[in-house]
Amino acid sequence: MADLYFATERLDWGLVFGSGALWVVFGSFLSASERNGSYLFAGRFITGIGAGTLSAVGPLYNAELAPPEMRGLLVALQQLSTTIGIMIAYWIGYGTNYIGGTGGNQSDWAWRTPSIIQGIPAIILVLGAPFFPPLSPRMLVRKGREEEALKTLTSLRGLPEDEIILRCEFLEIKSEVLFEQRVFARKFSNLAESGQSVWRHELAQYTRNFRTKDNFKRVAIAGLIMFFQQWSGVDSIIYYASSIFQSLGLTSGTVSLLATGVVGIINVLATIPAIMIIDKVGRKPILLTGSFGMFCSMIIVAVIVAKCQHDWEQRAAAGWAAVAFIWIYIANFGYSWGPASWVLIAEISPLSIRAKGTSIGASSNWMNNFIIALIFFVPETKNKTLEEMDLVFGSVMAADDRDMFTAAKEEVGLALVLNEGGHKGLSVYNYEKDVLTGHLETAC
């Protein structure tokens, strides 16, 4: 992440966007060519590097280019794009689920196809990144390229250079850059001179986030806003919506995938009004109202599950009610914490540490995202039998192997010996669990 923000401040924006997209291309096609689990995990890891890069740089870039009165709208557009991507991914998954049928003979292309499609937009971005992104006027002024900065600002605003509003904005940018440079020179006089180590300079810029109460408050808000965004539980629903809906009584895989697709649609529709009102209503009121709606929705879902979880077949209406309130929860998140959090972390830091502050906020988002995924994804396997593993992973393969192994025991007469041993104090259950299960796992 530090390398990323070094690039945004010292290199071309197109290079940053292109490099992030290149990671996604490589990771998606590595996942699609999976031959064993290691390929899939490596592909997802590499894709995550690219996705993390782009999701963090996008709000920063939009905030740098946007006029103050439109900053919230333009930064929130990234969240709208994200929700559209999630929705498309859901429905692609729903469609490819039918490749080769929905049973045990389902084709590998049912999951390889979404991985390949994931890389297509990234390829387009790699090819287009060197040509389309204009440089930030603020960064150009910071590099001393003032004439180029003025021309870029003129192009972005669609105003002539002598327009008073444009001149005021340009001079405001210059004054802010000059102020930040003088503050840095005063606090880090040994690094302010030209020719000093670039990496020492960048590290000093990161430490500025924590050296004063004002800056620390900004970076703490950026980190905490993303902490609470993730721990609101939204990504556990985004990642595991299908499994959650199945646990609420939607036992058909097709129906649960369909309900998951509705999550994507609601997320998009709820984000659209947010980008229209965020600059009028403000960030804080949107966060507060969204939090209240999310809280109420989850309380109702919790009550329904507590009352009906042992009898979903007889209480199908209650299951659908829980699904509906999960959809309402997504709607409340979509217009509030989804876009507003990214807007906040991109705009609250001063220019000289804006890239660093945004990177810390984005890192908090993805780190908490990882923690939530780890909690829900990795099962506890301690003291589990093979049959219990089937329940953990939703698979019948181990049970089939167990049946064949039981038949093999009977064929060689081992079952008879075990029964005789039972009369002599030998525990058949412990022998099978501790010894035979180990042999079966080794064979598998």
Encode pLDDT of 340-373 as tens digits: 888 888 888 776 677 777 778 878 887 887 777 6
Predicted local distance difference test score (pLDDT) of residue 255: 78
Range among 144-158, 170-184, 409-423, 424-438 with highest mean pLDDT value:
144-158
Q: Is the pLDDT of residue 107 over 70?
A: yes
CB 22 within 8 A of CB 126: yes
Among 26-30, 284-288, 379-383, where is mean pLDDT lowest? 379-383
Q: C-alpha 115: how far from its chain's center? A: 16
Residue type, 268: V
Residue 55 or 204, more confident: 55
Burial class for 400, CB neighbours closer than 10 Å (0-12, 13-18, 19+)? exposed
CB 418 within 8 A of CB 431: yes
Residue ranges covered by each domain of the chain: 2-133+206-377, 386-443
Q: Is the pLDDT of residue 387 over 70?
A: no
Q: Is the pLDDT of residue 432 over 50?
A: no
Among 72-76, 302-306, 418-422, where is mean pLDDT lowest? 418-422
Q: What is the rounded CA–CA span in Å between residue 375 and residue 250?
A: 23
Other Cβ atoms within 10 Å of 425 Cβ, number: 6
Tokens 């870029």 sit on residue: 152
For residues 177-191, give the mean pLDDT: 72
Q: Is the pLDDT of residue 79 over 80?
A: yes
The CATH number that domain 2-133+206-377 falls under is: 1.20.1250.20
Predicted local distance difference test score (pLDDT) of residue 365: 81
Q: Is the pLDDT of residue 168 over 80?
A: yes
Q: Which among 357, 346, 353, 363 has a CA at the least distance from the CA of 1? A: 363
CB 322 within 8 A of CB 301: yes
Q: Please give, one letter per residue, the 3-state secondary structure of the chain.
A: CHHHHHHHHHCCHHHHHHHHHHHHHHHHHHHHCCCCHHHHHHHHHHHHHHHHHHHHHHHHHHHHHCCHHHHHHHHHHHHHHHHHHHHHHHHHHHHHCCCCCCCCCCCCHHHHHHHHHHHHHHHHHHHHCCCCCCCCHHHHHHCCCHHHHHHHHHHHHCCCCCCHHHHHHHHHHHHHHHHHHHHHHHHCHHHHCCCCCHHHHHHHHHHHHHHCHHHHHHHHHHHHHHHHHHHCCHHHHHHHHHHHHHHCCCCCHHHHHHHHHHHHHHHHHHHHHHHHHHHHHCHHHHHHHHHHHHHHHHHHHHHHHHHHCCCCCCCHHHHHHHHHHHHHHHHHHHHCHHHHHHHHHHHCCCHHHHHHHHHHHHHHHHHHHHHHHHHHHCCCCCCCCHHHHHHHHCCCHHHHHHHHHHHHHHHHCHHHHHHHHHCCCCCHHHHHHHHHHHHHHHHC
CB 92 within 8 A of CB 85: no
Predicted local distance difference test score (pLDDT) of residue 390: 57
Predicted local distance difference test score (pLDDT) of residue 242: 83
Predicted local distance difference test score (pLDDT) of residue 216: 85
∠ Cα 378 382 386 (to 5°) = 90
Other Cβ atoms within 10 Å of 276 Cβ, number: 13
Among 65-69, 169-173, 277-281, where is mean pLDDT lowest? 65-69
CB 100 within 8 A of CB 107: yes
pLDDT band at 165 (very low <50, low <70, confident <90, very high): confident
Percent above pLDDT 90 for the chain:
16
| pLDDT digits 0-9 by tens, 394-412 | 554 445 556 666 676 677 7
Residue 180 or 262, more confident: 262
Predicted local distance difference test score (pLDDT) of residue 328: 96
Q: What is the rounded CA–CA span in Å between residue 418 and residue 403?
A: 17
Q: Is the pLDDT of residue 327 over 90?
A: yes
CB 288 within 8 A of CB 335: no
